[in-house]
Every structure is written in structure tokens, then in C-alpha cells.
Copies of this chain bind each other. A is one copy, B any other.
Amino acid sequence: MRSPEELTTAFRAAGLKVTPQRQLLFTLMHNNSAHPTADSLYAVASKQMPGISLRTVYQTLTDLTEMGELRTIEVGAGAMRFDPNVSDHHHAVCDVCGAVQDVYVNQAPELRGLDGFAVADAHIVYRGRCASCSASVKRS
């Protein structure tokens, strides 16, 4: 996702308005590696701008996604997550704390069973324990 300044220009160029709500969300998502849900982003945004609505957060995230500035990811159950990293990558989800981190694969694996299926896209979700949750395991 581009910087808040570039997004301001891009939005205006697309005939979209740049409101204070949107500017705040631009800055909150820029370089955000937390893979937030709409709701968690709303919680953060509300602190800086009390009264902003969850509906607006959803709307702006949808706009950014349609412009290709965000990717949406679904990791098992729960809400949709938004990722400002739109490069080709995958995700690892910690089963303990729920944190999501980016993962890159070096080469695509060979497949069996494709049977004429034309692959356009692939997304891998890894599950396990993140480094900090692995470290905090008490001996049992």
C-alpha cells in the first residue's frame, strides 16, 4: 500500500474524496504488519477520532482493496483481515495468540490432482506456534 500522501492523490484522481476519516485510516494501515480486522482497526481509530463509525472503516477498507492497495486474507474462522503488503506472499497464523505473519515461498510445489484446473492464484495458510508463543511454553 502506498503512502498516505500518494493515496490522497490517487483517491482524488479517482473522483473519491479525501476525508479526515480516510486520512486517519491511511496512516493506520500504512506499514501496518498486524493484519488487523475491520473491528480491531476501528478500535484503534476510535481512540484518535471518537465517533468514527465502524461502517466507515469497512467502507474505506473496501475502497482500498478495490484500488489494489490492500489485500484481504481469511485465516480459518473469524473476521476478514486486511494486509497492506500486496506482494505475492502467504501467512502463518499462531494457534495460541492468533497473530498473523507474512511468509514467502521460494518455489511453487509440484501438484497432483489438478486434472485440468487452471491455477490463477495460490494462498497458503500455515498454522502452528509463533516464536514468542513457542518461547513462553511452560514445561509440563
Chain A positions near chain B (C-beta within 8 angstroms)? 74, 76-77, 89, 92, 94-95, 101-131, 134-135
Contact = CB atoms under 8 A, between A and B. Distances in A.
A119 B128 contact: yes
A116 B134 contact: yes
B111 A109 contact: no
A38 to B, nearest CB: 14
A131 B105 contact: no
B111 A103 contact: yes
A117 B106 contact: no
Contacts of A112: 103-106
Given A106-B110, A113-B102, A115-B131, A123 B124 contact: yes
